[in-house]
A = this chain, B = another copy of it.
Amino acid sequence: MSKLNFSISGNSITATRYDGKARQFSLVVDEPEELGGQDIAPNPVEYLLAAYAGCINVVIHLVAKELQVTVSNIKININGDINPGRLLGLSKVDRAGFESLNVDIDLDSDGPKDLIDRLFEQVKDRCPLNDNLSNSTPVNYNIKHLVN
């Protein structure tokens, strides 16, 4: 099966604001004032949570259709804690990102419990975000530095 490439391209506008473009869409990232930003847009980790919630939604519907189970009124809430010590250079012990994530899903369905359990086993296995968060992803940095 041929691979799909996804990309974002953009620029640093301020010390906290990044303006990016993914296909025809503009995405603006900022930080709240207490984290040094101007709070004009969601912050990076909120974008991550939106990505994950949106991904779970897509995969629930995809798998429900295969299992011929109806699903409706789906609420997806995700939250997690970050200890800012490592980000701020105050700790080498804590991890930098979310320590863990809590995914709370409410849904209505005509399916019995065992079918809903199977549905979510498949969702966890097949959701791209669930994979990139649950498992390590190699990252290649390519940095071009112009001396000014």
Interface residues of A (CB under 8 A from B): 1, 3-12, 15-18, 20, 22-23, 25, 27, 29-32, 35-36, 41-55, 57-63, 65-66, 70, 72-91, 95-110, 113, 116, 120, 122, 124-148
Q: Let me know if B104 and A142 touch, CB within 8 A.
A: yes
The oligomer's copy count stands at: 2
Asked if residues B139 and A130 are in contact (CB atoms below 8 Å), the reply is yes
| Smallest beta-carbon distance A65→chain B, Å | 8
Q: Of the candidates B41, B57, B120, which one forms a contact with A25 in the assembled complex, judged by CB atoms under 8 Å apart?
A: B41
Which of B16, B50, B97, B132 is close to A98, meaning CB atoms less than 8 Å apart? B132
Interface contact B97-A6, CB-CB below 8 Å: no
